[in-house]
Amino acid sequence: MKGTLVLAILKVTSSYARNIERPVEGADDVPDTLQWWIGEQTWRIRTYGLDHDIHSHSIARTGSEVLDVALQNNAKHYASVTKVQHVLEFADCNDPVEVAKVFGDAGLPARLEVAAGRFAFWKPDNLKYRSHTAPR
């Protein structure tokens, strides 16, 4: 599956269900992320580190302008809490050799999960991410 992953690793860890957010302070803290998968479909993915919750939203837009939209959205709404942001290109995100190289080049562990062929997202740790809550 070909696509571009915009990955913003945040300086906070939070729980949507408990409505709490705190700074990432140590190596054991799992950061939240904001991600955009831009492929045949576009998805916005938000992970919550405290309870490994994930919210994914299909975005009606596709095409080259979506990358600009994603970057502008992240800057507008998350700039103050973004630790680092990467734009990662995949010819085939199901190829473990390619995934290891792309993440290795970015200095990140290769923890990419493909969600039923719809989108791919990076996991800050090795635990299972699933939807625990629905956005209000």
pLDDT tens sequence across 23-63: 999 999 999 999 999 999 999 999 999 999 999 999 987 77
Whether residue 134 is contained in a domain is answered as no
- The number of distinct structural domains making up the chain is 1
| In a domain? residue 128 | no
Whether 136 is in a domain gets the answer no
pTM of the predicted model as reported, rounded to 2 decimal places = 0.95
Q: Are 8 and 82 in contact (CB under 8 A)?
A: yes
Q: How confident is the model at residue 133 (pLDDT cuts 50, 70, 90)?
A: confident
**Per-residue pLDDT for 5 more than 80?**
yes
In a domain, 131, yes or no: no
Domain that holds residue 63: 3-122
Question: For residue 114, is it within any domain?
Answer: yes
Q: Which amino acid is located at 7 in the chain?
A: L
**Does residue 135 form part of some domain?**
no
Phi first, then psi, for residue 42 (nearest 5°) are: -110, 135
pLDDT of 135 > 80? The answer is: no
Angstrom distance (rounded) from CA 95 to CA 78: 31
CA dist list (Å): 4 to 48, 50, 112, 127: 21, 26, 12, 23
State mean pLDDT over 112-136. 90
Mean pLDDT of all residues in the chain? 95
Contact between 35 and 122 (Cβ < 8 Å): yes
Q: What is the pLDDT of residue 86?
A: 98
Whether residue 113 is contained in a domain is answered as yes
Let me know if residue 130 belongs to a domain. no
